[in-house]
Amino acid sequence: MATATYPGAAGNTALAEAATFVPEIWSDEIIASYQKNLKMAPLVKRIAFNGKKGDVIHIPKPTRGSANAKAADTAVTIIANTESELQIAINRHFEYSKLIEDIVEVQALSSLRQFYTEDAGYSLAVQIDNDLHSCGTGFGDGGSVVFAGSVAPTDYQHTGCFFNDNGTTTQYTDDTLVAGDAFTDAFFRDMIQKLDDNNVPMDGRNLIIPPATRNAIMGIDRYVSSDFVSGGTVNNGLIGNLYGVDVYVSANCATIEAAADNTASSVDTRAALLFHTDAIVMAEQMAVRSQTQYKQEYLSTLYTADTLYGVQVYRPEAGFVLAVPSA
């Protein structure tokens, strides 16, 4: 008779791995690691696709027309149709699974299951956040965002990515940014003007910066004034508003170029994103779901959470990448 192979320590929670959750060993409080602030999903265009069939969504992209002068006794001018469409591939399927032995269920605190439940939701949210951050590769003339399996696109050398080159706002290329090319107020204003020049609506503008950039701007007077700093508790990383732009801080900002690959710098180059809500679209075909199944052969319960979605740049002219040093 064949014997089922036990998943092993790497794939299940056995008594040894869960020892710290047993009351005799540890306290009643589950101490979770500090969770990254998640911001991107609420700030982008969302399409409800739950329960619908198909693996590609087609979204019409009408272009703006122009007014034509009307002379007496003449026919109106028919504006030619120049509509295009955007295709969103629903190809991002991620899961989080834990196999928990009965002995752990019996002896461990109820907060253990709560920890795994929260960790599952957190892990899937981080993945979505990272995918949305990767859409910065498609701003400007970056083109469509294409994921190679679980690997996100990484090419930020396009017309939508700029950095502060010693006081001059310059289009980014690899091996150019150095530690001294920090985020400045003048650089921020230049980038806002680029949104204005592209006729991007004033409302719905957001800036997401990495923690090192937040540290840098805290040395700028206007960024610590009551006009900028959001009152009360920080909500989803929102730290303030300046020039009509909501400013968020996130540890999930993508790395444009690692220090090891940059011949000009000893620090990583990170991607801060300045964008309008319509710059990026996310389509969720299956919201986060959770399932459980008892595995008698292991005397364990399998807990799984998963989600299925797609992301794409919708209005590439409505977003810019601000290349900033990580320190």
Cα(first)–Cα(last) distance of the chain, in Å? 60
3-state helix, strand, coil in the chain (%, to 5): 25, 30, 45
pLDDT 10s digits, 109-162? 677 777 787 788 888 888 999 999 999 999 999 988 888 888 888 899 999 999
Tell me what the mean pLDDT of segment 62-82 comes to: 82
The number of C-alpha atoms within 13 Å of 156 and in the hemisphere containing its C-beta is 33
pLDDT 10s digits, 165-180? 999 999 999 999 998 9
Looking up residue 259, the CATH number of its domain turns out to be: 3.30.1930
pLDDT 10s digits, 199-216? 999 999 999 999 999 998
d(CA 311, CA 57): 11
Q: Is residue 232 part of a domain?
A: yes
Are the CB atoms for 304 and 95 separated by under 8 Å? yes
In this predicted structure, what is the pLDDT of residue 223? Answer: 78
Q: Is residue 50 part of a domain?
A: no
* pLDDT higher than threshold 90 for residue 77: no
* pLDDT higher than threshold 90 for residue 299: yes
The total number of structural domains that make up the chain:
1
Read off the tokens for 109: 């605190």
Q: What is the mean pLDDT of the chain?
A: 84
Tell me what the mean pLDDT of segment 32-49 comes to: 70
Read off the tokens for 170: 């310059």
Read off the tokens for 105: 């269920």
Most confident of 55-69, 83-97, 308-322: 308-322
* pLDDT higher than threshold 60 for residue 8: no
Q: Which amino acid is at 98?
A: K
Distance of CA 305 to the CA centre of its chain: 19
Lowest mean pLDDT among 68-82, 209-223, 230-244: 230-244
pTM: 0.84
Q: Is residue 74 part of a domain?
A: no
Are the CB atoms for 296 and 94 separated by under 8 Å? no
Tell me what the mean pLDDT of segment 225-237 comes to: 61
Tell me what the mean pLDDT of segment 15-27 comes to: 49
Q: Is residue 166 part of a domain?
A: yes
Are the CB atoms for 116 and 100 separated by under 8 Å? yes
Angle, vertex CA 315, rays to CA 90 and CA 150, nearest 5: 35
In this predicted structure, what is the pLDDT of residue 26? Answer: 33
Read off the tokens for 122: 């957190």
d(CA 197, CA 236): 29
d(CA 325, CA 256): 10
Quick one: pLDDT band at residue 7, thresholds 50, 70, 90? low
Quick one: pLDDT band at residue 79, thresholds 50, 70, 90? confident
Tell me what the mean pLDDT of segment 43-53 comes to: 89
Q: Is residue 133 part of a domain?
A: no
Q: Is residue 245 part of a domain?
A: yes
Higher-confidence residue of 258 and 303: namely 258
Alpha helices in the chain (DSSP H): 40-43, 102-107, 110-134, 185-197, 211-217
Q: Is residue 244 part of a domain?
A: yes
Read off the tokens for 320: 């810019």
Per DSSP, the residues of 52-92 read: ---SEEEEEEPPP-------TT-PPPPPPP--EEEEEE--E
d(CA 148, CA 181): 31
Are the CB atoms for 224 and 264 separated by under 8 Å? no
Higher-confidence residue of 92 and 21: namely 92
Q: Is residue 219 part of a domain?
A: yes
In this predicted structure, what is the pLDDT of residue 236? Answer: 64
| Domain encompassing residue 270 | 156-281+314-325
- Compute the Cα dihedral for 181, 224, 40, 64 and give only its sign: negative
| Three state DSSP letters for 141-166 | CCCCCCCECCECCCCCCCCCEEEEEC
